Amino acid sequence: MKVQLFAPFLTYPDTSSDFVSGGAVSLAAAIDGELHALAVNADIPDVSNALSRILLDTPEMIRKAKALSRNRATYLLGLFRDRAEAAGVAVTTTEVTALPELMADAAARHARYFDVSLVGWETGNATARQTAEAVIFGSGRPTVLLPVETTFADIDHVAIAWDGSRVAARAVADARFLLERAKRVSVLTVLDEKPLEDEDAGDRLAAALVRQGIAAEALRIHAQDCPIGETLQRSATERGCDILVMGGYGHSRLRDFVLGGATQGVLEALLLPVLLSH
């Protein structure tokens, strides 16, 4: 059974960049998965009155904004289809509409019907962050964040951020489709970031993976006053890992997300593809 990959993007007010399709298609090709791309377009209600029509021509502004949203969707979905066809990846594309404040929630709801979501990440792009947070914490599915210009030739080396917690265990289970394809798996445990219930947690996970036929080794690393998210990512990149697997810590508070330290660090400076599972 092929892994079903889901790539959502919002088209308003900022939009996803062209690079999203390249990273998504290359990952689908690397794992022989099937790709489903969704464009969420803006359904902007008419809130104009007689004065706004005279001074601002609000109906025309709304019409133009909706047209730009639809045109961007048409372009990006076409790019998905072209790149998927060139890579020999099966792809389907869909468009839906939602109120601007509910567009990210719509992406999260659709993500629940697929195995894993792929979200493009650009520092400073509010729409990208809104999409990522909604899908990570609202879909119930793992989410892979793709930095700019990400491409996958293969999945050779996977890193796991491991502290023995429930969310970390969930992430490992959700990343099974990657671990089974990897030639190497490095289990990274940070020793000086917070107290660990089990100092041998990394060794125990590596041993469990080895028993399942996965080539895994445990590595103990030190944060050394460096933010935990950066420590994990730099350790993974220094070892030549293709992707980092970690639990996503956070919860929603009146539509604003309160994030754990490692999750916040990853979102502030994404250095490599990261699979987050909540």
CATH of the domain at 260: 3.40.50.620
Whether residues 98 and 19 share a domain: the answer is: yes
What pLDDT tens digit does each residue of the chain (278 aa) get?
899 999 999 999 888 778 889 999 999 999 999 999 999 999 988 766 544 555 456 778 888 889 999 999 999 999 999 999 999 999 999 999 999 999 999 999 999 999 999 999 888 888 888 898 899 999 999 999 999 878 898 999 999 999 899 999 999 999 999 999 999 999 999 887 666 667 788 999 999 999 999 999 999 998 777 788 889 999 999 999 999 999 986 555 444 555 556 667 677 778 899 999 98
d(CA 108, CA 129): 13
Whether residues 202 and 241 share a domain: the answer is: yes
Local structure of residue 239 (DSSP, 8 states): T
Helices within 212-249 (DSSP H only): 228-238
86 burial (CB, 10 Å; 0-12 / 13-18 / 19+) is exposed
CB of 116 closer than 8 Å to CB of 5:
yes
Residue 121 lies in a domain: yes
Whether residues 81 and 199 share a domain: the answer is: no
**Which among 148, 143, 140, 141 has a CA at the least distance from the CA of 131?**
143
Domain count across the chain: 2
Domain containing residue 52: 4-146
Whether residues 36 and 98 share a domain: the answer is: yes
Residue 152 lies in a domain: no
Residue 171 lies in a domain: yes
Helices within 185-227 (DSSP H only): 201-211
CB of 207 closer than 8 Å to CB of 125:
no
CB of 159 closer than 8 Å to CB of 239:
yes
